[in-house]
Amino acid sequence: MAHTLEALAKGQEFSEKPTACLALADGQLFYGQGFGAEGTAVAELCFNTAMTGYQEIMTDPSYAGQVVTFTFPHIGNVGVNPEDDETADPVAAGMVVRWDPTEPSNWRASEDLSSWLARRGRFGVGGVDTRRLTRAIRHQGAPHVAMQFSKDGSFDTEALISKAKAFPGLEGADLAREVTCAQSYRWDEMRWAWPDGFPKRSGPGHRVVAIDYGAKRNILRCLASAGCDVTVLPATATAEDVLAHDPDGLFLSNGPGDPVATGAYAVPMIQTVLEKTDIPVFGICLGHQMLALALGAKTLKMNHGHHGANHPVKDHTTGKVEITSMNHGFAVDSQTLPDNVMETHVSLFDGSNCGIALRDRPVFSVQYHPEASPGPMDSMYLFTRFADAMAARKAA
């Protein structure tokens, strides 16, 4: 095929031969310049509206199985650094951006984005009309895609389209198993503070067991900063594993994939813990969905999900509106909440559920990421609420 002519037909213009191709399952093709490591990726495509934090987004385990289209054009301009990784390696399958990444201009940068991706075996596509791509995602739902970076600019587009069509999608996918920790560990690092970076928590604290469905480091740091002595357990931990630590509270982390698939083993654990103890429980993102399933609600797949750092959420318990960070393609169906569970938060974009709580116990969860990495800090109070609930239980 004449790649440049195809691209021009779609409104793309290049001063040099394209080195990357993005193929949607419906046959649409987008061309651009690749950066990072040469290769091919097959995944679900989503878009993220955050203006900062591309490194945190790429290393967020909640993006397993997804390629991220960034609607903000200046991606790569502040470089990357080891302190901003949310996990050891990028988890998102790849990235699509409007402009090719520039040389970093930031005092914290230790490496440029392209080199960082190449070293971690990931790649991105620059020079794509991300506005047009975002409209396609919104209109048809999160599409399945295959993308390739080849420096010689040679692509078998029919093969790429076939790979996109063959991708099984995220429904029914238990991805938490793929991103969770291999064994338990302790966490004592707190939130970043000038000028020393990440201080260590010391002294007695609330004993918290955190279930790792794909936990971000900054969420664990927020727990430590709230006075929690954190022990992290794998996603497949049983109720016996949890209770063996005699916890003051249970935390259910963020993570990727279909909540129903992960719930096959996570829900029985949560239900048993709730039956055998009265400890506070706090869930985030996938952890929110796990708690909802354990309490008797259902979840559903969204058209294109919520991904960004500017999502308004209303707290029904206070009447306040928070601007939040979100990353989810599934949601709790509020129509299925049992009578003993109240809906505490809703999205002001589409009215979808963003928070629940038991009416008679300190058991609550939210759909968004309150740790602000990246994003606003409106919801940091939730970590304090969790700590206060544990303190109140001890005092009683």
Q: Residue 332 and residue 342: Cα distance in Å, rounded? A: 12
Instruction: With CA atoms as reference, report the closest residue to 207 among 394, 343, 71.
Output: 394
16 pLDDT tier (thresholds 50, 70, 90): confident
CA-angle at 310, arms to 309 and 314, nearest 5°: 115
Query: How does the average pLDDT of the chain come out, rounded?
Result: 95
Catalytic residue from among 206, 328, 345, 369: 369
Higher pLDDT, 4 or 251: 251
Instruction: With CA atoms as reference, report the closest residue to 328 among 306, 356, 299.
Output: 306
Decide: 211 and 220 in contact? Cβ < 8 Å: no
**Percent of the residues in the chain that have a pLDDT greater than 90, as a whole number:** 94
Instruction: List residues bridging with 189 in a β-sheet.
Output: 200
With 90 as the cut, is the pLDDT of residue 3 above it? no
pLDDT of residue 194: 87
92, two tokens: 């998102």
With 90 as the cut, is the pLDDT of residue 380 above it? yes
CATH T-level fold of 3-166: Glucose Oxidase; domain 1 (3.50.30)
Residues 267-326: pLDDT tens digits? 999 999 999 999 999 999 999 999 999 999 999 999 999 999 999 999 999 999 999 999
217-225 and 381-395 helices, crossing angle to 10°: 50
**Percent of the residues in the chain that have a pLDDT greater than 70, as a whole number:** 96
Please compute the mean of the pLDDT values over residues 67-73 and round it to a whole number: 97
pLDDT of residue 12: 53
Is 181 one of the catalytic residues? no
Please compute the mean of the pLDDT values over residues 140-154 and round it to a whole number: 96
pTM recorded for the entire structure: 0.95
DSSP assigned state of 226 = T
Is 245 one of the catalytic residues? no
Instruction: With CA atoms as reference, report the closest residue to 124 among 106, 144, 98.
Output: 98
Residues 91-139: pLDDT tens digits? 999 999 999 999 999 999 999 999 999 999 999 999 999 999 999 999 9
With 80 as the cut, is the pLDDT of residue 10 above it? no
Catalytic residue from among 3, 285, 311, 328: 285
Is 56 one of the catalytic residues? no
**Where does the chain hold its CATH 3.50.30.20 domain(s)?**
3-166
User: Per CATH, the architecture of 176-395 is what?
Assistant: 3-Layer(aba) Sandwich (3.40)
Q: Is the dihedral of CA 207, 213, 215, 219 positive or negative?
A: negative
pLDDT of residue 4: 40
13 pLDDT tier (thresholds 50, 70, 90): low
Radius of gyration of the chain (CA): 21
15 pLDDT tier (thresholds 50, 70, 90): low
pLDDT of residue 305: 97
pLDDT of residue 244: 98
pLDDT of residue 151: 96
196 pLDDT tier (thresholds 50, 70, 90): confident
pLDDT of residue 27: 96
